[in-house]
Amino acid sequence: MSGRSKLLKVVLLGDGGVGKSSLMNRFVSNKFDAQSYHTIGVEFLNKEVTVNGENFTMQIWDTAGQERFKSLRTPFYRGADICMLTFAVNDRKSFENLPMWKREFLYYADIQDGAPFPFIIVGNKCDMPNREISEEMAQSWCSRNANAPYFETSAKDATNVQLAFISAVSRMREMEDQLEVKPVQTNSVDLSKKQKPLNSGCCS
Amino acid sequence: MAFQNQVLFAKDSVYVHINVQDTKDKDAHIAGRVFLLNKPEGYFIEWKAEDVLNLETTSEEWDVINYKNDREGDSVSMNAKMDARRKYNISFDILDLKSFKRSAPNHGWAYIIFILKDGTTFPALHFHNGGSKALLKELENFIYIRRSPNDPRLFLVKDHDPEQLSQSINELSLFTDSSGAYVQNFVNDSKHGLSKKFIKSPYTTTLGGFSKVTNFLRDVLMTPENSQNLVRPQSEVAELLQDDIPGMEISQLDEPGFEMITKTKLPPRPTVKRGDPLASPQWNSFFDAEGRISKVDELKDIIFRGGVDPALRSEVWKFLLGFYDWDSCSKKRTDQRKRKVDEYFRMKLQWKTISAEQEKRFTLLKERRGLIDKDVMRTDRTHKFFAGDKNPNLQVLYDILMTYCMYNFDLGYVQGMSDILSPILVVMENEVDAFWCFAGAMERVCHNFEMDQNGMKVQLSQIHKLMQIQDPELCAYLEAHDSGNFYFCFRWILIVFKREFHFHEIQRLWEVIWTDRPCSNFHLIISLAILESEKSTLLENKFGFTEILKHINDISLSIPLEETLRKAEGIFLQLRDYKKLPISLKEILGLLPPAHVPASQSMENSMFMGSTSNSSSSLQQEAGVKVDTPTLMAGGAGSGASSVKGVTRSGSGSDLTKGTVGAACSANVARSIGMSARYGGGARQSNGGGAGGNAGATCGMDDVHKVFT
Ligand SMILES: Nc1nc2c(ncn2[C@@H]2O[C@H](COP(=O)(O)OP(=O)(O)O)[C@@H](O)[C@H]2O)c(=O)[nH]1
Ligand SMILES: [Mg+2]
């Protein structure tokens, strides 16, 4: 929690049960809890990372996926820097719902129409034998969606979890650089739309 | 290169209490050791389970023990028990420590709850064998700690800067007898070089400026430093300016030109005593010769004050949850029960007999099946009753939830319902009884689960309104930190604190709540009581929006139940006796004479308002506003139609099925088609039919016919 690191708000979205909470816990504490509860309400965890020499505090937001809790989760999309769209490779329906999640996010995060935004696509539970979505199918969807990076992960055996989250940060930085609309002091622009870094009382 | 971590302090017999059946359960307390370590990254407090330590100390070096965040994959090889233990491990840099809470002095042993700057709140560390003071003494050598002026149990860590640190040496030490605290390598740490500008805290501002309306509004409108930088929309500002702030008495005594807000002058809080649980002899004495309960009110009073002896729960809960009528005699109960058994199996048969082929064209059912399937696997799996992959009770949980879909198809399955069912099933140990008691419990909370979420919104706003009177200071603080919508209480309300208390405690809490004493919205007052206990932590740590959310999420399982109940009843009594209590609050608290329709019931009566949604909040009613919001889902009115208490079933689910399968499907029929003497069996191949076959062991037919006498 160094004062010099920039706060990145990451929103994890996807159908219930695809493994969002498990991915978050694997990434933040490197634990997998087979006895965990399903998420009720909204939770978040922080994780300090260094990507290409820059320090970030990733603040990862995890919500309940059921349609009816939409009004609870959508207020938390505002100010997001990264969105990770998650499905389970053994659950076709969860894959088919990706466009729905993307739409919901763009709408409530208040992202301008057509503005590029760093989405990362995650196909979780790749340790499972009964796959319903092949890597090609997923890749093909990604290529039709602004070439969003795709990762096949397993929160259970830790495959690619770090990679997916860290790549999300690089992806965001790349897009920022490409845009070049933003001046070097992006901080002020970015911070204005999201909450302060955590220990704001004392630093930064 | 291995760096030998220097152990500055270590103490064993430090326990984490986890959520299991009850405190007698040998798994309820995980033994572990607490350390203060000097690591290359800084000074750390760590706690590790003994099991994990024993396993790990085979390799000598600390950095092996230290769980590396950036190395993946090494926990998979661990066996499940180790994984379960390891998940409770605690490790944090003391620079991230914001404050901590100690147990009350009269608590049997000492415990400490550590709270970090980002709101992370660890489970309480229980020092069964002492040592908490020694740890804090040690800690005091590195950080400047002061006691909260408002909450004697709360300690705050001052941000580190050399000036303050030197101050700490001079100031009264809290945990040492001498003032010989010393600083060890501390200022060398690069992290310390950070200059911490002292920002005027929002709390100070709030407190200091609280007496002035102007300042109050400024606080609310100009979002303080610490909180989300969301700019309040103009409309909201206008609203705030218009609203007079309820609960604030405005006088102009003090300074001319400034309106003075004093805190609400509630009457003093009465001391409230809790009682003993209802036990067998007493319970039996309530029945007359025909097995009818006399003096129901008196009985409910006892249950409200002390709960129910666990051994009696499965009987008493059947009354509390409307399985039996309060005024029934034994004969009637025998009949009631028989009918309910038949009724249950009739409904169970409905979904059981839907073929895979049929289900392909029954998306809604298929989706619900999927949801239930996933959630059953994620409900109270640390509890013995549901532990283990092939546990047959999971199948029972599943079957009841599926059958509930048939019973109340309009509502369907919503996440959170499995949490409501689980403690009930554990108490009933019988599928049919558990189903009907669950249905009764759902009647009380079904508006939480409805599509438009209005029941939830109404209750969160009711907490808000109550707090405006009960604790305007805390209320203003929360509002000023973007938490005025009380979203952080969402989980509390949705599943009636199920995740916030240990298993045996939630059973106690629920039976208290089910008495509808002192009012049917007691759960809202309980929310106020918990928040009051956290007030100093939130305010003095200057927690903002995210920290508040995190802290409230994290205090689950460390909320003292009896103390909270006492506090809540005290708050209720204070509000009840408050002369100027606004009508809308009286309504929430059920204090209006019967002529008025209490808010809680107006929600239930929405059916009579045509397509009006449940949002008829008391405010709208007061203002005579009738909002004609069409319900989003056809089921809105149907499921809301039934009364709060009892199991007056009016959901169209049961109507729909009448005459289709009908009474033909008695328990005998059910048995004959093999769904069974062991009703977990073979329903769905995908869900481990074999294992399910054992369900009867605890929830078999035989039990079904064991009739309450
Ligand atoms: N095999 C396997 N199971 C997983 C994986 N990730 C999560 N799960 C399990 O899938 C279920 C749903 O996970 P959860 O994280 O609660 O999903 P969420 O609803 O998206 O947050 C849980 O029972 C997890 O144990 C994974 O990578 N592999
Ligand atoms: Mg989750």
How does DSSP assign A78-108, residue by residue?
Answer: TT-SEEEEEEETT-HHHHHTHHHHHHHHHHH
Amino acid, single-letter form, for residue B23: T
**Contact at 8 Å (CB) between A167 and B517?**
no
In sequence order, the 6+-apart residues with CB closer than 8 A to the CB of B344 are B403, B431, B432, B435, B436
Domain residues for the domain of B218 are 188-225
Domain count, chain B: 4
Does A158 sit within 8 Å of B491, measured CB to CB?
A: no
Domain identity same for B169 and B24:
yes
The CA R_g of chain B, rounded to the nearest whole Å, is 28
Domain identity same for B586 and B700:
no
Can you tell me the distance from the alpha carbon of B20 to that of B383, in angstroms, rounded to the nearest whole number?
5
Greater pLDDT, B235 or B140: B140
Can you tell me the distance from the alpha carbon of B542 to that of B553, in angstroms, rounded to the nearest whole number?
17
Between residues 122 and 141 of chain A, which touch chain B (CB distance below 8 Å)?
A: none
Which range has the worst mean pLDDT, A49-53, B88-92, B113-117, B595-599? B595-599
- Among B158, B187, B216, the domain-final residue is B187
Greater pLDDT, B505 or B178: B505
Instruction: Tell me if B19 is assigned to some domain.
Output: yes
Domain identity same for B462 and B547:
yes
Instruction: Tell me if B375 is assigned to some domain.
Output: yes
Average pLDDT in the B22-48 region? 82
pLDDT of residue A51: 95
B345-400: pLDDT as tens digits: 999 999 999 999 999 999 999 999 999 999 999 999 999 999 998 999 999 999 99
Greater pLDDT, B154 or B4: B154
Domain identity same for B172 and B40:
yes
pLDDT of residue B31: 87
**Contact at 8 Å (CB) between B78 and B71?**
no
User: Phi and psi of A120, rounded to 5°?
Assistant: -120, 135
CA-based torsion, B57, B60, B66, B70: positive or negative: negative
Q: Are strands B125-127 and B145-147 parallel, antiparallel or unpaired?
A: unpaired
SS3 B8: strand
Which among A154, A184, A148, A180 is positioned nearest to A167, based on CA atoms? Answer: A148
Tokens coding B673: 């088609």
Instruction: Tell me if B323 is assigned to some domain.
Output: yes
Domain identity same for B169 and B73:
yes
- Give me ligand 1 centre to Cα B128, in Å: 35
- Among B128, B162, B187, the domain-final residue is B187
Query: Tell me, what DSSP letter sits at residue B447?
Result: G
The residue whose CB lies within 8 Å of the most ligand 1 atoms, and thus the one to mutate among A20, A22, A128, is: A22
A103-149: pLDDT as tens digits: 999 999 988 877 899 999 999 999 999 999 999 999 999 999 999 99
Which range has the worst mean pLDDT, A184-188, B105-109, B471-475, B478-482? A184-188
Which among B280, B314, B281, B286 is positioned nearest to B300, based on CA atoms? Answer: B286
Cβ-based neighbour number of residue B542 at 10 Å: 25
Whether residue B643 is predicted with pLDDT greater than 90 in this model: the reply is: no
Cβ-based neighbour number of residue B61 at 10 Å: 13
CATH number at residue B565: 1.10.472.80
What region, left, alpha or beta, does residue B666 occupy, with left being phi > 0 and alpha being psi -120 to 50 degrees? Answer: beta
pLDDT of residue B141: 86
Whether residue B657 is predicted with pLDDT greater than 80 in this model: the reply is: no
Q: What residues flank ligand 1, with Cβ below 6 Å?
A: A 14, 16-22, 34, 36, 38-39, 65, 124-125, 127-128, 154-156; B 377-378
Q: What is the pTM of this model?
A: 0.74
Domain identity same for B594 and B665:
no
pLDDT band at A26 (very low <50, low <70, confident <90, very high): very high
Count of H helices and E strands in chain B?
A: 33, 11
pLDDT of residue B683: 33
Can you tell me the distance from the alpha carbon of B618 to that of B581, in angstroms, rounded to the nearest whole number?
14
Can you tell me the distance from the alpha carbon of A52 to that of A61, in angstroms, rounded to the nearest whole number?
23
Between residues 194 and 213 of chain B, which touch chain A (CB distance below 8 Å)?
A: 194, 196, 199, 201
Domain identity same for B390 and B458:
no
Percent helix, percent strand, percent coil in chain A, to nearest 5: 35, 25, 40
Spell out the domains of chain A, with CATH numbers in brackets. 6-199 (3.40.50.300)
Ligand nearest to the CA of A40: 2
Instruction: Tell me if B284 is assigned to some domain.
Output: no
What is the average pLDDT score of chain B? 74
Whether residue B635 is predicted with pLDDT greater than 60 in this model: the reply is: no
Greater pLDDT, A193 or A51: A51
Domain identity same for B319 and B402:
yes
Instruction: Tell me if B637 is assigned to some domain.
Output: no
Instruction: Tell me if B304 is assigned to some domain.
Output: no
Does B117 sit within 8 Å of A158, measured CB to CB?
A: no
Tokens coding B600: 């809680």
Can you tell me the distance from the alpha carbon of B320 to that of B481, in angstroms, rounded to the nearest whole number?
40
B62-84: pLDDT as tens digits: 333 333 344 344 433 345 566 66
Can you tell me the distance from the alpha carbon of B693 to that of B395, in angstroms, rounded to the nearest whole number?
9
Query: Tell me, what DSSP letter sits at residue B308?
Result: B
pLDDT of residue B258: 38
Find, in chain B, the residue whose alpha carbon is nearest to that of A57: B118
pLDDT of residue A25: 96
- Give me ligand 1 centre to Cα A20, in Å: 7
Greater pLDDT, A36 or B606: A36
- Among B187, B211, B237, the domain-final residue is B187
Which range has the worst mean pLDDT, B12-21, B234-243, B439-448? B234-243
Instruction: Tell me if B641 is assigned to some domain.
Output: no
Domain identity same for B168 and B206:
no
On whether ipTM exceeds 0.95, the answer is no
Which range has the worst mean pLDDT, B236-245, B262-271, B506-515? B236-245
**Contact at 8 Å (CB) between B366 and B405?**
no
**Contact at 8 Å (CB) between B469 and B393?**
no
pLDDT of residue B159: 74
User: Phi and psi of B258, rounded to 5°?
Assistant: -115, 130
What is the average pLDDT score of chain A? 87
Instruction: Tell me if B250 is assigned to some domain.
Output: no
Can you tell me the distance from the alpha carbon of B405 to that of B391, in angstroms, rounded to the nearest whole number?
23
Q: Are strands A150-152 and B6-17 parallel, antiparallel or unpaired?
A: unpaired
End-to-end Cα distance, chain A: 11
pLDDT of residue B19: 66
Whether residue B50 is predicted with pLDDT greater than 70 in this model: the reply is: yes
Can you tell me the distance from the alpha carbon of B38 to that of B2, in angstroms, rounded to the nearest whole number?
14
Average pLDDT in the B83-99 region? 83
Helical pair B392-407 and B431-445, crossing angle rounded to 10 deg = 50
Cβ-based neighbour number of residue B621 at 10 Å: 17
CATH number at residue B437: 1.10.8.270
**Contact at 8 Å (CB) between A3 and A197?**
yes
Whether residue B183 is predicted with pLDDT greater than 50 in this model: the reply is: no
Whether residue B222 is predicted with pLDDT greater than 50 in this model: the reply is: no
Tokens coding B620: 């709208």
Domain identity same for B459 and B501:
yes
**Contact at 8 Å (CB) between B321 and B646?**
no
In percent, the amount of chain B with pLDDT more than 70 equals 63
pLDDT of residue A40: 95
Domain identity same for B99 and B125:
yes
Most confident segment among B199-203, B318-322, B387-391? B318-322
CATH number at residue B99: 2.30.29.230
Domain identity same for B217 and B328:
no
Which among B455, B438, B538 is positioned nearest to B494, based on CA atoms? Answer: B455
Gap from B636 CA to chain A (nearest CA, Å)? 13
- Give me ligand 2 centre to Cα B372, in Å: 14
Q: Are strands A119-124 and A82-88 parallel, antiparallel or unpaired?
A: parallel
